[in-house]
Amino acid sequence: FEGVPETLEAKREAFEWLNRHCRDDAILTSTTSSILVTQLAALLQQHRPAMARRSRQTRLLHVSPEEVEEALRAQGITIHLQPKVLADTLAPVGVEALARWFRADGGVVPPVTFVRVAEQNGLSDLLFESVLRQSLATVKRLESAGFDLKVSVNVSASSLARVDVVEKILRYALEAEVDTKRLVLEVTETGLVRDLRIALDVLTRLRLHGIELSIDDFGTGYSSICCAACRSPSSRSTARS
């Protein structure tokens, strides 16, 4: 499959072409391996049930605050890692923790849905802490496996305006045995902070502990904390998760 895009659908299309033009005992070769057409067919067939299940998943656009809180406390909302690479060399430099909610009944709740419910019902702190603790545990496992990567975690501006947030972040990092220099906080640019003095103090203390700050969804909203406190952020992100 030299030159074939590394996606299952592309490989399936390639297989269908090969199935029409090659004998079953034909051998497909690459620079690293060889495989019979029949073996490739069996391998692709293994993926069909999983793809079928995913196609049947229902996107749930309405959930209650109680459902969100229950999912957070039961760790039903988990993280998926999105790699970050250097543009010129594609060398990995970190990962971003993206919150995802796949329910036991097969339903999928989009992040925009449960994040909005959390922000509107006082659950932003619980969501941030859940994602943060999972992220720190994951980056510790990556470190143990030999990967020297930073992890980025989204945090709402309102959560950073709490006087105890720095102590919580430091405690969670200590419990996970992760250096705070491996942590990047991406401040969402979608909210206002009532007490800017507390927010400025929090951000200053975070930077003193080596925690990087970034503006997430830059340009998509307005946030006093981002405009006043992140005049020199470590980075800016325009991708929406």
Q: Residue 238: which pLDDT band, with cuts at 50, 70 and 90?
A: very low
> Residue 213: CB partners within 8 Å, gap ≥ 6?
184, 185, 187, 203, 206, 207, 230, 233, 234
> Is pLDDT at 28 greater than 50 in this prediction?
no
Which of 160, 170, 177 lies closest to 228, judged by CA?
A: 160
Query: How many CB atoms neighbour CB 61 within 10 A?
Result: 9
Q: Any idea which of 49-53, 55-59, 132-136, 193-197 has the lowest mean pLDDT? A: 49-53
pLDDT above 70: percentage of residues in the chain? 62
pLDDT exceeds cutoff 90 at 5: no
Residue 87's pLDDT is 84
Instruction: Give the residue carrying structure tokens 């790699």.
Output: 83
Structure tokens given for 97: 């923790």
**How confident is residue 63, by pLDDT bands cut at 50, 70 and 90?**
very high
What's at 75, amino acid-wise?
Q
Residue 154 backbone dihedrals phi, psi, to 5 degrees:
-75, 140
Give the residue, 43 or 221, on which the prediction is more confident: 43
Which comes out higher in pLDDT, residue 110 or 235? 110
In one-letter notation, the amino acid at residue 234 is: S
pLDDT band at 117 (very low <50, low <70, confident <90, very high): very high
Kindly report the three-state secondary structure assignment for every residue of 138-187.
Answer: HHHHHHHCCCCCEEEEEECCCHHHCCCHHHHHHHHHHHHCCCHHHEEEEE
- Asked if the model's pLDDT at residue 30 lies above 50, the reply is no
Of 93-102, 135-144, 150-159, 167-176, the one with minimum mean pLDDT is 150-159
CA distance 186 to 178: 18
pLDDT at 192: 53
- Which has the higher per-residue pLDDT, 36 or 214? 214
pLDDT at 216: 67
pLDDT digits (tens, 9 = 90+) for 119-161: 999 999 999 999 999 999 999 999 999 988 999 999 988 888 8
Residue 161 is predicted with a pLDDT of 80
The helix-helix angle for 65-73 and 124-144 (nearest 10°) equals 30
C-beta of residue 217 within 8 angstroms of C-beta of residue 240: yes
